[in-house]
Amino acid sequence: MLSKGLRDEENQKINELVGRLIDLEFVPEFYETEQRSKANGLLFEHLGFKISDLESWSSEELLVKLKELDFDFSNLEQFGDFLLKIIPFEDEQHESHLAASAVAIFEYIQEESKTFSFNIIQKINEAKSFL
């Protein structure tokens, strides 16, 4: 178990990473050639996996991995936001898989945080629209 100081430092690093991922601007013409590789580089450098891993893992496997990396509810929500952002740029097969992962993340937050959020419900509905 991480001490409070280390946990806070790790949480800050995750916040910064996910913030950087969300801040990436994606344009359809450049997504496959440039932007996806930039996102992959950030993911792999900081978390040890790539978008292609997300496309092959089940939603449960992804949640376990993110919890192992000490993602808190805020980090999980931001990661779900990142998934929502890249879904339209992925091919149809991967689009629905990533959407299912985003739904699982948002539903996990809603259930485990024991806090009802209309914002999370909206994100769940948005992700479900890609299924």
Residue type, 16: E
Residue 6, pLDDT score? 65
CB 68 within 8 A of CB 111: no
Residue whose token pair is 């689009």: 95
Percent of the chain residues past pLDDT 70, beyond the cut: 95
Domain hosting residue 43, numbered range: 4-128
- The model carries a pTM of 0.93
- pLDDT (0 to 100) of residue 80: 98
The domain total for the chain is 1
25-81 residue pLDDT tens: 999 999 999 999 999 999 999 999 999 999 999 999 999 999 999 999 999 999 999
